[in-house]
Amino acid sequence: MSRVDAAAIRAAFRERGFIADEAFGTALQLALALEKPLLIEGPAGVGKTESAKVLADVLHTRLIRLQCYEGLDAMSALYEWNYPRQMLHARLTETDGSSLEQREAQIFSERFLLKRPLLEAITEERSPVLLVDEVDRADEAFEAFLLEMLAEWQVTIPELGTIRARHKPSVILTSNRTRELSDALRRRCLFVWLPYPSLEQEIDILHARVPGLSERLALQIARLMHALRGLSLQKAPGVAESLDWALALMSLHRDHLDAKTLEQTIGCVLKVHEDRAVLDAHRDAVAPILSDTSSRTEPGGYGLETDFGFGSVSAPRG
């Protein structure tokens, strides 16, 4: 895949419902060709994590995910010993005649080692995609360790020695910028910013991920999302909310958005109570997007874009 150009990568992503622009496709191409980590930053909910999942599928390899959090340390990301099994083994071998050194070597062997994401990534038989998700949530000490890991691709376990990567993973790091990452980590990586999609991109994403969604409803959802992101919300909705909303509206057999439907389903989009008040204060901004014309959709049907002069028409689900 390293010799495939950005256009081929974008096409492969599109087949899997991920609409990538040229800049993102090129960043992935270079990350694969140069075997360098790719740091993806952008607002929450725009598809940073999903891009790593899709990349693993495109490369036909395993995705290994390390979810970062405050207090994450190197041992939690690398390995730990299976203490219950070690204790059981020690008791069962107390009278088998083995020396203390032999029993210790058995207890601290790979069969009792629990591999965590980073160790898994360097011991895979085939190069995996390693997703270091929300790296900005980890502290600076873990970031320093990660930087060393990305440089050396080896780890030393005192009881087993040094383990070197069999195949270098394809690495995706994501960040929501809750804190600033170090210059050293940024220099180690290639970088791409993944913004909210344009209106056209969001419509393409909706059609790719929600088959059967009408053009009219996709346009209304995309326009409303862009309007909402322009407001001073505590938690602006991302693409994930767009898709949830589209699926919710289809499950309710809605073929368009009106003020009543917006009120009934706004919980799919706005997840903070105070943001409802912000929307109420800007009703005039979203009113032109909403359709107050009622339409009838048969249960299990999808709205069609042409009314043939007779109003809204629905087609039964195939």
Could you tell me whether strands 79-81 and 190-193 are parallel, antiparallel, or unpaired per DSSP bridges?
unpaired
What per-residue confidence (pLDDT) applies to 285? 83
Could you tell me how many residues make up the chain?
Answer: 318
Domain with CATH 3.40.50.300 in the chain: 6-79+113-193
Predicted TM-score (pTM) of this structure: 0.81
Query: What's the CATH fold of domain 6-79+113-193?
Result: Rossmann fold (3.40.50)
Residue 308 has pLDDT above 50, yes or no: no
Distances (CA, A) of 303 to 47, 69, 215, 262, 313: 28, 44, 9, 17, 6
What per-residue confidence (pLDDT) applies to 95? 74
Residue 313 has pLDDT above 90, yes or no: no
Q: Per residue in 90-121, pLDDT tens?
A: 787 777 767 777 777 777 777 888 889 999 99
Confidence class of residue 20 from pLDDT cuts 50, 70 and 90? Answer: very high
Q: What is the mean pLDDT of the chain?
A: 86
Q: Give 17-57 as a DSSP string.
A: T----HHHHHHHHHHHHHT--EEEE-STTSSHHHHHHHHHH
CA pair distance 294, 135, nearest whole angstrom: 47
Look at 309 and 96; give whichever has higher pLDDT.
Answer: 96
Q: Per residue in 142-157, pLDDT tens?
A: 999 999 888 889 888 8
**Beta strands in the chain, from DSSP E residues, in sequence order:** 38-41, 63-67, 79-81, 113-115, 129-133, 154-157, 161-164, 170-175, 190-193, 301-303, 314-316
